[in-house]
Amino acid sequence: MIDIALLRSDPDRVRENIRKKFQDKKLPLVDRALELDEKRRALQTEGDNLRAARNRLSKEIGALMREKKTAEAEAVKAQVSADAARLQEIEKESEAAAEELKEIMMRIPNIISPDTPIGRDDSENVERQRFLEPKTPDFEIPYHLEILERVHGIDIDSARRTSGQGFYYLTGDIARLHSAVLTYARDFMINKGFTYCIPPYMIRSSVVSGVMSFEEMDGMMYKIEGEDLYLIGTSEHSMIGRFMGQTVDEKQLPLTLTSYSPCFRKEKGAHGIEERGIYRIHQFEKQEMIVICKPEESEAWYEKLWQYTVELFVSMGIPVRQLECCSGDLADLKYRSCDVEAWSPRQQKYFEVGSCSNLTDAQARRLGIRYKTEKGTAYAHTLNNTVVAPPRMLIAFVENHLNADGSIDIPEVLRPYMGGKEKIG
């Protein structure tokens, strides 16, 4: 949510930002927000004047009664009563205007970074850097499900019977590899100075509406029937929600946290063959990182966070690239975002395995996350990034470490978490 002061002082900048995101249908929201803001402030002024008049008239009534001027006192009392009725109307009108204004402000997108490329959708995202040279072996690489099934590492059919499409059983060494990667990622981030957390896996609607746009919520979240609770789509949701309505001391910043959680997503829509299997699923596990910092530090943290993900994948011998997300591919709360994509030797292309975002103070405004300075309080900046999400990572892992005989090499950094194993065969 952007600062209302920015909307008042430079509405044209807000309109241009909406156009850059190709959301022209939202342009009328700017005028409506300005109209409501002006109405709300006018009502506030009128209310303040009436309250001041009430205090003055109350003293006047007392003086008139002492002077036995009953008729005049009754006339003033009638005026006080009329003013009180108007005050009640003002409070109702102000509440309605404030509620509508808040709803509109939550739909106006955050100002995007000057470094964000302008484009309509993810097809116009821009590659920035590559890490490790992509390699293609001299043998055919099967579909990832076939690779996993050959080593008795996955059971999709049973999961369809128990749970439906979009679920899976991992078994044996592949299940162990899945856990090994998560544990390695946890230790990797702890060694970077992050504090490890395990958050709640359900959050209230007040947190949901604070961490994402309404469109994202509808497309992602599962609601618990009969309760004001949603299953988290990522631990970022409950991790940021932890600080809702809080004022953090400036000396505590930056807060650097890494969290493990299962994640639950609707994943609406049909997908091609490469996005079946374990690419788009309703349940998975993930190691996440979040940062809450002062505004002047957020861009430096953005650069650090995505580079941590790159470092993790490179340490496991998986080639990756950084892809800067274009304006039309940015969620409304994001100032700037990039994807880390892993190389698929089978598809001869990269695919997304993580996403890093700087939300500046837009998310903090929704949730009321401030920090205290000597001069007062200010909204903090929030960032989040995927350390690793094993289902997609497993695809990149098995394709990049597959041998001609069907065995899968285990890189050195993971062997301590795999009981010293060097191969899965």
Q: pLDDT of 36-93, one tens digit each?
A: 999 999 999 988 888 888 777 777 777 777 777 778 777 777 877 888 888 888 999 9
Close Cβ partners of 85 (under 8 Å, ≥ 6 residues apart): none
Confidence category of residue 268, pLDDT binned at 50, 70, 90: low
Return d(Cα 261, Cα 287) in angstroms, integer: 7
Among 115-129, 149-163, 182-196, 255-269, which stretch is predicted with the lowest mean pLDDT? 255-269
Domain 122-424 has CATH 3.30.930.10: yes
Q: Where are the strands (E) in 59-173, listed by range?
A: 126-131, 154-155, 169-170
Is residue 18 pLDDT above 80, yes or no? Answer: yes
Residue 272's pLDDT is what? 47
Confidence category of residue 126, pLDDT binned at 50, 70, 90: very high
Close Cβ partners of 244 (under 8 Å, ≥ 6 residues apart): 206, 207, 210, 367, 368, 369
The pLDDT tens digits for 183-214 are 999 999 999 999 999 999 999 999 998 888 76
What is the identity of the amino acid at 35?
E
Domain 4-105 classification at class level: mainly alpha
What is the identity of the amino acid at 366?
R
Tell me which residue of 219, 222, 189 sits closest to 205, measured CA to CA: 222
Q: Which helix (H) or strand (E) holds 259?
A: strand 255-264
The answer to whether residues 107 and 2 touch, using CB atoms and an 8 Å cutoff, is: no
Return d(Cα 9, Cα 11) in angstroms, integer: 6
**Interval 341-368 mean pLDDT:** 95
Task: Locate the domains of the chain by residue range.
Answer: 4-105, 122-424
Return d(Cα 316, Cα 235) in angstroms, integer: 24
Confidence category of residue 275, pLDDT binned at 50, 70, 90: very low
Tell me which residue of 225, 224, 227, 230 sits closest to 208, measured CA to CA: 230
Residue 61's pLDDT is what? 72
The pLDDT tens digits for 25-49 are 999 999 999 999 999 999 999 888 8
SS3 state at 380: coil
The tokens describing 49, both together, are 């004047």
